[in-house]
Amino acid sequence: MNRHEHGHRHHDEAMLSVEDALERILDHFHVLDSKEVPLLEALGQALAEDAVSLHDIPPLDNSAMDGYAVQASSIGNASEDSPITLRVVGSVAAGELPDTAVEPGTAVRIMTGAPIPPGADSVVPFEETDEIERRNAALDMAEIGIKIAAPVGSDIRPAGQDVRKGTLVLTAGTVLRPSEIGVLASLGFDSVKVVRRPVVAILSTGDELLDPGDTYSEGKIYDSNSYSVAASVLRYGGAPKMLGIARDNLDSMNAKLREAMEADMLITSAGVSKGDYDMVKDVLAAHGRIAFWSVRMRPAKPLAFGVLDAGDGRKVPHLGLPGNPVSAMVAFEQFGRAAIHKMMGKDGFLKPRIQAVLDEPIYNTDGRRVYARAVITKQNGDYHARLTGNQSSNLLTSMAGANGLAVCPEDTPVKETGEVVEVQMLDWPEDVF
């Protein structure tokens, strides 16, 4: 028994903690198969195989500066007051191979990234030479005055300093960010094998729903859940497949469900609360299994979870979100997001959690965990949370204004102003933090 379930005998026996619901849901999800994709498309995906370097990076010893490649022993006593003059025997730019060796008393003009010529063991930057004076005085550029002594190895970047040939650079499972994408490009890969993105079928249900773009008609509302959920799926790396709206009748539901069979997951909204779910139950029971849960959370207490039989023994897990727009989003955050991460091989990916001081109380009237829509700011080094006004689960603008969900635990009737609460960050705005 979960700690939170103790001493709540007055609650519905079937009420599940958020953690128990999550565990039951995640049991039905597995890491998807992998796919080779163009490098840039792999952003946010988990590597499906180790990335081993086939080259040294950099491939050759090369110059860290624009300057002159020399032998350190040629300029041992050089100084500003008594420069040592070397004969310039060649030049080498990045991408070229040097065609002249450096010998005692000679130098090769070299650009940043260019390979060090044979014989050279250090580089003197332009600023430490008399190149500009010479140029201004129209002097012979076949010679150069060196104004400092440069120890062996100065401004030389050794071959293999970044990555040695044959080393394991990124392990399978690494989630690719811009820096890892860059590292893979530096290894010469233009495509990469990653855990593929889940296709998530998204279906809204209800006779009252209009598609955005439809002419408004009285008594109807626009379907926002399809869009907020699809946008969330996209944000977390999945590929939404918009099935549109099913009407509250068997034929309409059946037709839409058939379109979901190709997906890796189906997310529906509405039709899961008591009194409403009979139709959904009948339809889904005909295509697989479905359970209706009460989850000890506010918003989003009613939740459905099931599996559709897609034929060939293939199962499509189905998450049934509540219809109210805030409930749908909050339940997606707790359960849908985790399922997508698991399918993408990104287990354990959590939203940042912070401790914040409450600037107003959060009330918990019925022993459920409250996820209050909050605006988090930083003030004098502390995070502060204020709520986005009325917390009714039908008010989607209260979600639009929030950057976090402030949590009041199940067994705490109130978190007062000034108390510290945990906040699940929905976003981490750079301008605030």
Q: Give contact residues for Mg ion (rule: CB under 5 A).
A: 206, 270
- Rounded to whole angstroms, the Cα distance separating 402 from 150 reads 58
Q: Which residues pair with 209 in a beta bridge?
A: 221
Q: Work out whether 320 is an interface residue with ligand AMP (CB under 6 A).
A: no
**Residue 323 vs 404, nearer CB to ligand AMP:** 323
Distance, CA of 400 to chain centre: 20
67 binds, options ligand AMP, Mg ion, none, Cβ within 5 to 8 A by partner type: none
* 152: Cβ contacts below 8 Å, ≥ 6 apart: 72, 121, 122
Q: Work out whether 252 is an interface residue with ligand AMP (CB under 6 A).
A: no
Tokens of residue 30, six digits: 């597995």
325 binds, options ligand AMP, Mg ion, none, Cβ within 5 to 8 A by partner type: ligand AMP
Q: Which of 369, 374, 375 is nearest to 412 (CA)?
A: 369
Q: How far is the CB of 323 from Mg ion (least distance, A)?
A: 5
* 432: Cβ contacts below 8 Å, ≥ 6 apart: 376, 377, 378, 403
In the bound state, the residue with its beta carbon closest to Mg ion is 206
- Rounded to whole angstroms, the Cα distance separating 40 from 379 reads 38
**Residue 121 vs 223, nearer CB to ligand AMP:** 223
Q: How far is the CB of 304 from ligand AMP (least distance, A)?
A: 10
Q: How far is the CB of 21 from ligand AMP (least distance, A)?
A: 17
Q: Work out whether 323 is an interface residue with ligand AMP (CB under 6 A).
A: yes
Q: Work out whether 432 is an interface residue with ligand AMP (CB under 6 A).
A: no
Q: Work out whether 224 is an interface residue with ligand AMP (CB under 6 A).
A: yes
Tokens of residue 164, six digits: 């040695």
Candidates 83, 237, 238, 322; binder of ligand AMP (CB under 6 A) is 322
Annotate 217-237 with DSSP letters as a single string. Answer: -TT-EE--HHHHHHHHHHHTT
Segment contacting ligand AMP by CB under 6 A, of 4-12, 88-96, 217-225, 408-416 = 217-225
In the bound state, the residue with its beta carbon closest to ligand AMP is 323
Q: How far is the CB of 205 from ligand AMP (least distance, A)?
A: 7
Candidates 63, 204, 334, 398; binder of ligand AMP (CB under 6 A) is 204
The amino acid sitting at 349 is: F
Assess whether the previous peptide bond of 361 is cis (omega < 30° from 0): no
> Considering only residues 271-300, where is the footprint of ligand AMP by CB under 6 A?
271-273, 276
Q: Work out whether 268 is an interface residue with ligand AMP (CB under 6 A).
A: no
Q: How far is the CB of 281 from ligand AMP (least distance, A)?
A: 13
b/e per residue 392-420 (b: at least 16 CB within 10 A): ebebeebbeebbbbbbbebebeebeeeee
**Residue 129 vs 205, nearer CB to Mg ion:** 205
Segment contacting ligand AMP by CB under 6 A, of 19-27, 106-114, 264-272, 371-379 = 264-272
Segment contacting ligand AMP by CB under 6 A, of 62-70, 77-85, 201-209, 232-240 = 201-209
Query: To 10 degrees, what angle do helices 277-287 and 250-260 make?
Result: 50
* 303: Cβ contacts below 8 Å, ≥ 6 apart: 21, 272, 292, 293, 294, 295, 319, 320, 321, 322, 331, 335
Classify residue 175 by its DSSP letter. B
Candidates 117, 325, 336, 404; binder of ligand AMP (CB under 6 A) is 325
Tokens of residue 336, six digits: 């849908």
Q: Work out whether 143 is an interface residue with ligand AMP (CB under 6 A).
A: no
**Residue 272 vs 319, nearer CB to ligand AMP:** 272
Give the number of residues in contact with ligand AMP, rule: CB under 6 A: 19
> Considering only residues 389-418, where is the footprint of ligand AMP by CB under 6 A?
none
Q: How far is the CB of 394 from ligand AMP (least distance, A)?
A: 6
* 344: Cβ contacts below 8 Å, ≥ 6 apart: 31, 32, 45, 46, 195, 197, 198, 237, 238
Q: Work out whether 41 is an interface residue with ligand AMP (CB under 6 A).
A: no
Annotate 36-73 with DSSP letters as a single string. Answer: EEEGGGGTTPBBSS-EE-SS-BSSS-EESSSEEEE-GG
* Angle ∠(313,319,324) on CA atoms, nearest 5: 155
Segment contacting ligand AMP by CB under 6 A, of 16-24, 169-177, 320-328, 343-351 = 320-328
**Residue 2 vs 394, nearer CB to ligand AMP:** 394
Q: Which residues bind ligand AMP (CB under 6 A)?
A: 204, 206, 208-209, 221, 223-226, 269-273, 276, 322-325
